[in-house]
């Protein structure tokens, strides 16, 4: 890397707004990851310790409680990913661009 690039990276790393952005992004990402882990492990623990609940039929069809809950786990992953992408595109990217313009 050139010394100009190194100096620019150094200024960005020490920028207070950049450091705040990194903290906000990390907190948000960890929160979403924790939510997904709770959903997933909650489902797995239900499979392990309450299989009878998941086997209960819904109505007169062959559909059981476990199928919509399993689909819900997958949908939760899509929704949480969508939340992250939306926040990244509207907040994190805008802040990053502002920092880059100011540092340049």
- pTM comes to 0.85
Name the residue with higher pLDDT: 104 or 103: 103
Look at residue 41 and tell me whether its pLDDT is greater than 70: yes
Mean pLDDT of 77-82: 98
What is the C-alpha end-to-end distance of the chain, expressed in Å? 17
- Would you state the pLDDT for residue 62? 86
Q: Bridge-partner residues for 64, per DSSP?
A: 57
Question: What residues make up the domain containing 27?
Answer: 3-103
Look at residue 1 and tell me whether its pLDDT is greater than 70: no
Q: Residue 15: CB partners within 8 Å, gap ≥ 6? A: 99, 102, 103
- Would you state the pLDDT for residue 104? 78
Q: How many folded domains does the chain comprise?
A: 1
The CA–CA distances, whole Å, from 87 to 62, 80, 82 equal: 40, 11, 9
Got the DSSP string for 52-75? Answer: HHHT-B-TTSS-BTHHHHHHHHHH
């Amino acid at each position: 890397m050139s010394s100009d690039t190194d100096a620019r990276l150094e200024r960005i790393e020490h920028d207070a707004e950049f450091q705040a952005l990194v903290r906000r992004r990390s907190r948000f990402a960890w929160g979403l990851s924790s939510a997904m882990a709770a959903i997933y492990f909650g489902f797995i623990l239900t499979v392990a310790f309450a299989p009878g609940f998941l086997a209960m039929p819904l109505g007169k069809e062959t559909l059981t409680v476990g199928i919509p809950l399993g689909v819900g786990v997958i949908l939760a992953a899509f929704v949480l990913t969508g939340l992250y992408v939306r926040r990244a595109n509207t907040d994190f990217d805008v802040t990053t661009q502002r920092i880059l313009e100011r540092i340049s």
